[in-house]
C-alpha cells in the first residue's frame, strides 16, 4: 500500500483523484494548506506526489524544486496547461512525468503504477498481483489467465481486456461502445473484430465448462451471467 500526496487546489478534482486512488488500494492524501506544502510533504512522507502547476501563492514548479532538495520521490505533474514549454519546464524542475487535464483515470493510475514500479520495484514484486474475481471465476489480467476451480486457460491480450470489462460490470449489460473503447488501446477495433473476439472468449469459457455464461443482448451489448457456480454444483 502506497501513500500518494495530492497537491491540487481544486478540491473536487483532488477528492475525485483521492477516491479513485483508494479504489486501487492505495492511500491518497489531499493537501489543503498551500503555504506549507513542504512541511506537509515531510509529515506524510508519501511514496509519490501528484502536483498541479497553478497553485495559490507559489506555483508547482517552485514546490517541485523544494521537494527535490530533500527527496527523490516520484513527482507527476497534473495540469490544464498543455504547451510543450510547460512540460519541458516541469521536467526540468525535477518532475518525472506530466499528465494534462482533462485526463482519464486509467492513465493517471497507469502512470502512478509505472513510477512506483520503477522506484519501489522491489516492494512491488512482493505486493499482490491484481485479480478480478466473480463467483469463483478469477482473472489474472497481468498473466492473462482465467481460472475456475482447478482449471486454467490462457487468454490473448484482447480476450483478457474483454473478460475484465465483462467481469467488472457483471451482471450488468456492457454496451459495445464501452468494450470497443477498452479494446481500442493497442489498435483500432471495429464491430467485426469485436464479434470475433467475443466468439473467442466464448470458446475459452467453454473450455472451462461455461457454455452459456456470455450472453448477447440484442441492440444493447453483452452480459456475463454468473450462473456457472450453480451449474457446477448442480
Tell me which residues touch another protein (CB under 8 A).
10, 12-13, 16-17, 19-20, 80-81, 84, 101-105, 169, 175-178, 180-181, 184, 188-191
Residue with smaller CB distance to another protein, 20 or 44: 20
Contacts of 210 (CB under 8 A, 6+ apart): 137, 148, 228, 231
Shortest distance in whole angstroms from residue 111 CB to another protein: 15
Q: How far apart are the first and last CA of the chain?
A: 40
Shortest distance in whole angstroms from residue 57 CB to another protein: 18
Alpha carbons 188 and 158: distance in angstroms, whole number: 12
Question: What sign does the CA torsion over 193, 195, 144, 174 have?
Answer: positive
Shortest distance in whole angstroms from residue 151 CB to another protein: 30
Residue with smaller CB distance to another protein, 84 or 218: 84
Closest CA to 188 of 197, 180, 200: 180
Shortest distance in whole angstroms from residue 25 CB to another protein: 17
Shortest distance in whole angstroms from residue 186 CB to another protein: 10
Residue with smaller CB distance to another protein, 20 or 229: 20
- Taking the CA atoms of the chain, what radius of gyration do you get in angstroms? 21
Tell me the DSSP string of 102-156. S--HHHHHHHHHHHHHHHSHHHHHHSPPP-EEETTEEEETTTTEEEETTEEEE--
Q: Is 4 exposed, middle or buried (0-12, 13-18, 19+ CB in 10 A)?
A: buried
Residue with smaller CB distance to another protein, 36 or 101: 101
Residue with smaller CB distance to another protein, 35 or 181: 181
Residue with smaller CB distance to another protein, 150 or 188: 188
Shortest distance in whole angstroms from residue 148 CB to another protein: 26
The residues facing 101 across adjacent strands are: none
> How far from chain centre, in Å, is Cα 12?
19
Shortest distance in whole angstroms from residue 178 CB to another protein: 6
Residue with smaller CB distance to another protein, 10 or 215: 10
Grid cell listed for 206: 467453454
Cβ–Cβ < 8 Å for 139, 163: yes
Amino acid at each position: 500500500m502506497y501513500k500518494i500526496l495530492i497537491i491540487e487546489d481544486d478540491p473536487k478534482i483532488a477528492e475525485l483523484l483521492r477516491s479513485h486512488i483508494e479504489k486501487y488500494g492505495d492511500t491518497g492524501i489531499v493537501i489543503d494548506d498551500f503555504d506549507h506544502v513542504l512541511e506537509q510533504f515531510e509529515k506524510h512522507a508519501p511514496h509519490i506526489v501528484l502536483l498541479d502547476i497553478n497553485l495559490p501563492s507559489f506555483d508547482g514548479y517552485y514546490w517541485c524544486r523544494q521537494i527535490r532538495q530533500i527527496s527523490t520521490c516520484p513527482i507527476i505533474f497534473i495540469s490544464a496547461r498543455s504547451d510543450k514549454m510547460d512540460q519541458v519546464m516541469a521536467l526540468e524542475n525535477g518532475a518525472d512525468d506530466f499528465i494534462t487535464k482533462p485526463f482519464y483515470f486509467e492513465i493517471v493510475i497507469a502512470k502512478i503504477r509505472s513510477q512506483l514500479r520503477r522506484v519501489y520495484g522491489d516492494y512491488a514484486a512482493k505486493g499482490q498481483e491484481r485479480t478480478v474475481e466473480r463467483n469463483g471465476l478469477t482473472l489474472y489480467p497481468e498473466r492473462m489467465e482465467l481460472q475456475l476451480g482447478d482449471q486454467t486457460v490462457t487468454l490473448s491480450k484482447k480476450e483478457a481486456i474483454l473478460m475484465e470489462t465483462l467481469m467488472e460490470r457483471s451482471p450488468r449489460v456492457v454496451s459495445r461502445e464501452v468494450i470497443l473503447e477498452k479494446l481500442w488501446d493497442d489498435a483500432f477495433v471495429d464491430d467485426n473484430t469485436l464479434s470475433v473476439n467475443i466468439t473467442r472468449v466464448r470458446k475459452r469459457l467453454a473450455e472451462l465448462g461455461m457454455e452459456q455464461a456470455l450472453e448477447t443482448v440484442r441492440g444493447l451489448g453483452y452480459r456475463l451471467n454468473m450462473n456457472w457456480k450453480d451449474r457446477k454444483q448442480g
